[in-house]
């Protein structure tokens, strides 16, 4: 039985021909296969062509997006590294000299900001703050220059005022400036470039920077402790030339960090990391010096000695040198045990468990210094200072001698030198030790 397929179109008809050839098709297998191939070929080719074109188009788009995203991500990573390096240098510079640092950072941000954006800067970048800050820093520098020729006794009150300023500015910068200048991750406009490249990007600026703020504050405190130690060393130093050398050393460090940060952020960050490492290893020494300086400044400013008398059951003081394994300037209290032996009690870092240090055997006297007294052990004709007392004990040396039952009161340090000079010119009288 034959199958009549009516009028199948000729697939290879000439273009523009209006006539269509027709022929009857038999029902044998060859004819059926030919009919199927002729009927299916045009839509199959059309679909296949569309798929190939779509694949080529998608491949080109994806390749373009990949190149764009790779470029955008590399730019973001580079910007993140530069900002992290600059943040490290900025935090280190602020810690070395908070007043100069915050004034300079504020002036720099204000100067480089466009005119229309200056009203939106942080408070420390406003002229009403950074101009007085830099003027005050200039006054401190002028004091240091003039102070090299001034007597030590006349210069000390200004050194005390500078130490107080350094504490206040350090506290303000740590809590109100460091969190604002800690910038590690790029802002949202830079992160949006990843999203425009076809990736789901998250703005990490707020989250990431907030995560690094505690680390930045910790680094600031560690470096500031080491820098503030210079102020305390100036307080206890009797020589103005030493004060000038210490100030020049700190100014050199500040200039080194700032200069390298502008020329090469990575080098500036490396120098900042080295300074942070050094400050970390001397943090204990710096902390003990900080406690000593705080008590020194408090007694000096409040004239505590006029409202104070030594206690009978023990008095607060510092070690004047390393005794056994107890480091210098460890804060504690000294009392006399039942057997008459002197014992020094202290807490490491002020909060650790209490420990006791027996003082070496010997003959002890109270040393009368120019700014603060001390407890010293006689070593022949010389005195070895073992304890340093705060300024509140000045003018109370005889009372201290009576409390601890020591061998007397002797002039020490600059006071002893001045007495010796007066004796040479016959203007003074040799002072004997006051018996217990």
Task: Write the pLDDT tens digit of every residue in 306-362.
Answer: 899 999 888 999 999 999 999 999 999 999 888 788 999 999 999 999 999 999 989
pLDDT at 430 over 80: no
Residue 85's pLDDT is 87
Q: How many domains does the chain have?
A: 2
**pLDDT digits 0-9 by tens, 44-85:** 555 545 555 454 444 444 444 444 555 555 666 677 778 888
Same domain, 158 and 95: yes
Is residue 186 very low, low, confident or very high in pLDDT (cuts 50, 70, 90)? low
Asked which of 230, 265, 298 is the last residue of a domain, the reply is 298
**pLDDT digits 0-9 by tens, 129-176:** 999 999 998 888 887 777 666 666 677 788 888 889 999 999 999 999
Residue 79's pLDDT is 76
Same domain, 326 and 240: no
Per the model's pLDDT, the better-predicted residue between 145 and 262 turns out to be: 262
* Inside any domain, residue 367: yes
> Residue 44 and residue 49: Cα distance in Å, rounded?
9
Is residue 32 very low, low, confident or very high in pLDDT (cuts 50, 70, 90)? very low
pLDDT at 363 over 70: yes
Residue 202 CB contacts under 8 Å (≥ 6 apart), including other chains: 191
Residue 36's pLDDT is 42
Residue 49's pLDDT is 53
Residue 409 CB contacts under 8 Å (≥ 6 apart), including other chains: 365, 366, 367, 368, 397, 398, 401, 433, 434
CA distances from 24 to 5, 8, 39, 182 (A): 7, 9, 15, 87
**% of the chain with per-residue pLDDT over 90:** 44
Min mean pLDDT across 180-194, 204-218, 273-287, 341-355 is at 180-194
* Inside any domain, residue 15: no
Which range marks the domain in which residue 315 is found? 311-424
* Inside any domain, residue 48: no
Asked which of 270, 298, 326 is the last residue of a domain, the reply is 298
* Inside any domain, residue 400: yes
Asked which of 275, 298, 321 is the last residue of a domain, the reply is 298
Phi, psi of 396 (to 5 degrees): -115, 25
At residue 89, the 3 state secondary structure works out as helix
Same domain, 289 and 339: no
> Residue 116 and residue 137: Cα distance in Å, rounded?
29
Residue 173's pLDDT is 94
Q: What is the pTM of this model?
A: 0.73
Same domain, 315 and 400: yes
Min mean pLDDT across 111-125, 163-177, 179-193, 400-414 is at 179-193
Q: Do 90 and 105 touch, CB atoms closer than 8 A?
A: yes
Same domain, 232 and 335: no
Same domain, 134 and 238: yes
**Residue range 2-29: average pLDDT?**
43
Residue 154's pLDDT is 72
Q: Considering the chain, what is the average pLDDT of its residues?
A: 78
**% of the chain with per-residue pLDDT over 70:** 70
Residue 17's pLDDT is 42
Tokens in use for 89?
Answer: 């240098």
Residue 74's pLDDT is 64
pLDDT at 191 over 50: no
* Inside any domain, residue 434: no
At residue 18, the 3 state secondary structure works out as coil
Residue 429's pLDDT is 55
**Residue range 19-47: average pLDDT?**
46
> Residue 345 and residue 333: Cα distance in Å, rounded?
5
Same domain, 186 and 80: yes
Closest-CA residue to 386 (of 304, 287, 317): 317
Same domain, 259 and 315: no
Same domain, 169 and 120: yes
Same domain, 138 and 273: yes
Per the model's pLDDT, the better-predicted residue between 3 and 396 turns out to be: 396
**Residue range 13-25: average pLDDT?**
43
Min mean pLDDT across 124-138, 279-293, 405-419 is at 405-419
Is residue 217 very low, low, confident or very high in pLDDT (cuts 50, 70, 90)? very high
CB atoms within 10 A of CB 245: 13
Is residue 424 very low, low, confident or very high in pLDDT (cuts 50, 70, 90)? low
Same domain, 186 and 216: yes
> Residue 203 and residue 187: Cα distance in Å, rounded?
7
């Amino acid at each position: 039985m034959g199958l009549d397929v009516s009028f199948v179109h000729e697939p290879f008809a000439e273009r523009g021909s209006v006539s269509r050839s027709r022929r009857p098709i038999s029902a044998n297998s060859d004819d059926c296969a030919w009919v199927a191939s002729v009927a299916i070929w045009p839509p199959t080719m059309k679909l296949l062509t569309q798929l190939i074109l779509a694949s080529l188009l998608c491949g080109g788009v994806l390749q373009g997006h990949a190149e764009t995203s790779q470029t955008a991500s590399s730019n973001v990573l580079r910007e993140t590294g530069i900002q992290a390096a600059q943040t490290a240098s900025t935090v280190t510079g602020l810690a070395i000299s908070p007043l100069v640092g915050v004034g300079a950072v504020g002036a720099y941000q204000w100067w480089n900001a466009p005119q229309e954006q200056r009203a939106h800067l942080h408070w420390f970048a406003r002229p009403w703050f950074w101009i007085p800050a830099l003027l005050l820093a200039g006054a401190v520098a002028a004091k240091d220059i003039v102070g090299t020729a001034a007597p030590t006794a006349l210069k000390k009150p200004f050194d005390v005022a500078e130490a107080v300023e350094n504490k206040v500015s350090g506290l303000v910068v740590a809590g109100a400036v460091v969190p604002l200048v800690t910038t590690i991750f790029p802002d949202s406009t830079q992160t949006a470039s990843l999203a425009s490249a076809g990736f789901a990007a998250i703005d990490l600026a707020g989250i990431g920077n907030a995560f690094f703020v505690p680390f930045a504050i910790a680094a600031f405190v560690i470096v500031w402790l080491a820098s503030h130690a210079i102020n305390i060393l100036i307080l206890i130093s009797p020589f103005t030339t030493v004060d000038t050398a210490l100030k020049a050393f700190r100014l050199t460090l500040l200039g080194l960090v700032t200069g390298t940060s502008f020329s090469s952020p990575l080098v500036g960050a490396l120098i900042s990391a080295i300074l942070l490492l050094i400050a970390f290893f001397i943090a204990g020494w710096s902390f003990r010096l900080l406690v000593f300086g705080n008590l020194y400044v408090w007694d000096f400013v409040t004239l505590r000695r006029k409202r104070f008398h030594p206690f009978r059951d023990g008095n607060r003081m510092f070690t004047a040198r390393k005794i056994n394994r107890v480091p210098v300037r460890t804060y504690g209290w000294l009392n006399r045990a039942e057997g008459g032996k002197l014992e020094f009690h202290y807490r490491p870092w002020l909060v650790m468990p209490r420990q006791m240090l027996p003082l070496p055997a010997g003959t002890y006297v109270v040393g009368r210094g120019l700014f603060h007294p001390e407890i010293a052990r006689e070593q022949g004709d010389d005195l070895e200072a073992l304890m340093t007392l705060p300024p509140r004990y000045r003018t109370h040396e005889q009372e201290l001698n009576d409390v601890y039952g020591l061998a007397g009161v002797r002039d020490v340090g600059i006071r002893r030198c001045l007495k010796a000079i007066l004796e040479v010119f016959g203007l003074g009288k040799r002072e004997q030790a006051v018996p217990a």
